[in-house]
A and B are shown apart, each in its own frame.
Chain A
């Protein structure tokens, strides 16, 4: 089976610092791969390069059999690579439904419609409502996003990523800032999506990571120091050392 995502010796430096230090990684279709690492390990930089917002210095990114290293973010999204943001960046002035419809619209024909209201177009509204349901937000569909609680906004972020049925989900800390209860809801949600989508998850919540991931890679100072199943990572001596004094690995 060919890999859904193949990262080949990716390098990105800022000044003298290598934020991404020869990272190679492969994701099989349907796999949920988690990336963990202490603060400043370069996780967000890596996600940025996969999303296309940060250009790597060298190396190659292959997605679904195509080289996408120099593709613009919009083009990657249209090929089925969707990302959610660490800092919630939904559209606060729009309603939940409008947010998700807009995300759908990017994948559904052109946007040079000047007359027909977006919310009357079933090809947008139907999948949007489905994705809102998947993300567990149905009861909030018409609420303006500015009135949503933080946890609900994170769920909306997921609905916007899911709506276009992407091939690969880049999830940048989907549980950031959530209460224990809220993150439990998201874990359940991702559990339900597992196997149907290929997912790359960057997350600080170790309970969530070890509950969800098929494989885990540990990133420290831009370098992958270990990669394997949750059991292998738990047993890995290097990982324990890397985390010592920073965050305690709940093993």
Chain B
């Protein structure tokens, strides 16, 4: 018997709505909707990458925007020098993010807890000031991108192509995460979050696996940055500011840390409520802040966690009912 799981239905509904956004945007017509949801998807991709290390690996990186910035600058700097091939830009993004991730990760992961938070923040700020100091590339003012990434068969200059590329990447990332967290690698990573000492006592060289997760996460976040630069047509050191890193953490926590679908929900909820509240009042942060606190206090696994908890509650009630009817009671 197929059971009716609310969390799964909501996830399916969200994906369906996301697929239909371009249609709505062209029929309404409301081109801004397309840009806005594209931004949601880009941040969702970054949040998914952060969730791998934060939600599953227990590594609170407070400098994850660094990789978004690196991806964005890979587009900006290469375009400035006439390289607009998306494949080259993607290759550079992947290699640079993997390298920076491997080096900074290898250093940061020697620490845990608050020290890890601070050291990831420090690395991100280091790169932030590096790009601020690059005056020939706009420095503080950033760099506008005249030509978008050209992937041959399609180009990200078209908002619809960009939208569907982002959506496809988000869905692919979600699917890969779903497989990964139950596979050997994911189990080791989750084990490290729960009790790293025990993992070592069992014979796992935990640093190796945590570092791999960190590098994978960095690369995925870099790809989000590549999309972001194409979306805004602009790149600036602000993309790797600590406020962006903080926003990514809020998305993950709000949506549901350590759940596959949570980061997408988190970026949707955060950016949409931001948008709505901004329209209502200039002091929108005063409303949004307490709302976030409320969710985090009441749900251990964020908004998506509400649905999972609800499913769990229904499942237990069903089991109880089955048990009662088996005993011959009404």
Contacts and interface: CB of A to CB of B under 8 A. Distances in A.
Contacts of A73: 200-201
A143 B130 CA distance: 52
Interface in A185-232: none
Contacts of B190: 91, 93-94
A119 B181 CA distance: 12
A77 B184 contact: no
A115 B179 contact: yes
B209 A106 contact: no
Given A73-B200, A111-B209, A160-B202, A93 B194 contact: yes
Nearest to B187: A118
Interface stretch (A10-18, A56-64, A97-105): A97-105
A74 interface: yes
Contacts of A82: 202
Contacts of B185: 111-114
Given A53-B197, A92-B194, A112-B212, A118 B203 contact: no
Interface string A68-85: 000011110110001101
A117 interface: yes
Contact of B204 (A74, A92, A101, A119): A74
Contact of A107 (B176, B186, B203, B206): B203
A167 B325 CA distance: 50
Given A114-B180, A118-B182, A53 B191 contact: no
B183 A116 contact: yes
B203 A91 contact: no
Interface residues on B, range: 20 to 34
A195 B202 CA distance: 23
Contacts, number: 89
Interface residues on A, range: 35 or more
Contacts of B206: 74
B281 interface: no
Interface in A119-135: 119, 121
Contact of A115 (B180, B188, B203): B180
A91 B191 contact: yes
Given A111-B188, A112-B212, A118-B184, A89 B205 contact: no
A111 B198 CA distance: 16
Nearest to B188: A111
A77 B201 contact: yes
Query: Interface centre among B185, B187, B202, B206, by most A CB within 10 Å?
Result: B202
Contact of B188 (A93, A105, A116): A105
A106 B204 contact: yes
Query: Interface centre among A72, A75, A94, A118, by most B CB within 10 Å?
Result: A118
A151 interface: no
B136 interface: no
Interface in B142-195: 176, 179-180, 182-188, 190-191, 194-195
Interface in B97-114: none
Contact of A119 (B182, B191, B194, B195): B182
B257 to A, nearest CB: 13
A221 B1 CA distance: 63
A117 B183 contact: yes
A111 B195 contact: no
A102 B212 contact: no
Contacts of A174: none
Given A74-B205, A91-B194, A92-B194, A111 B184 contact: yes
Q: Which 4 A-B pairs have the closest CB atoms?
A: A77-B203, A113-B184, A106-B203, A117-B182
Interface of B: 176, 179-180, 182-188, 190-191, 194-195, 197-206, 209, 212
6 contacts: A51-B201, A72-B200, A74-B200, A112-B184, A112-B185, A121-B184
Given A74-B200, A106-B204, 5 more contacts: A74-B202, A77-B203, A102-B202, A105-B187, A111-B185
